[in-house]
């Protein structure tokens, strides 16, 4: 039981570490990979679903995984950038 709880804690902590991307790297990734089609980040912010940072992170992670950002580290950086510019 204790081992199972320890494993679950490690999985949660690993997920949090991965989710905490670098907004500066995310801005660079956005400029390189996203801005060609989504020129202004301000125009996409209203369409990011969720009421708080956790909900927006989950929404963006699922969306970006299917939308030309298959690398988890790049997604984390993009999400950190988008949350930063949205004020979260």
- Count of domains forming the chain: 1
Do residues 25 and 82 touch, judged by C-beta distance below 8 A?
no
Q: Cβ-count burial of 54 within 10 angstroms (0-12 exposed, 13-18 middle, 19+ buried)?
A: exposed
Domain that holds residue 41: 2-85
Q: What is the pLDDT along the chain (88 residues), one digit of tens a residue?
A: 555 444 444 444 444 444 589 999 999 999 999 999 999 998 889 889 888 999 999 999 999 999 888 899 999 999 999 999 998 8
């Amino acid at each position: 039981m204790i081992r199972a709880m320890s494993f679950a804690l490690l999985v949660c902590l690993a997920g949090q570490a991965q989710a905490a991307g670098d907004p500066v790297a995310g801005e660079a990734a956005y400029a390189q990979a996203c801005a060609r089609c989504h020129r202004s980040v301000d125009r996409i912010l209203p369409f990011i679903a969720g009421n708080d940072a956790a909900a927006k992170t989950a929404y963006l992670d699922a969306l970006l995984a299917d939308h030309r950002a298959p690398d988890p580290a790049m997604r984390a950086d993009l999400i950190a950038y988008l949350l930063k510019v949205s004020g979260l």
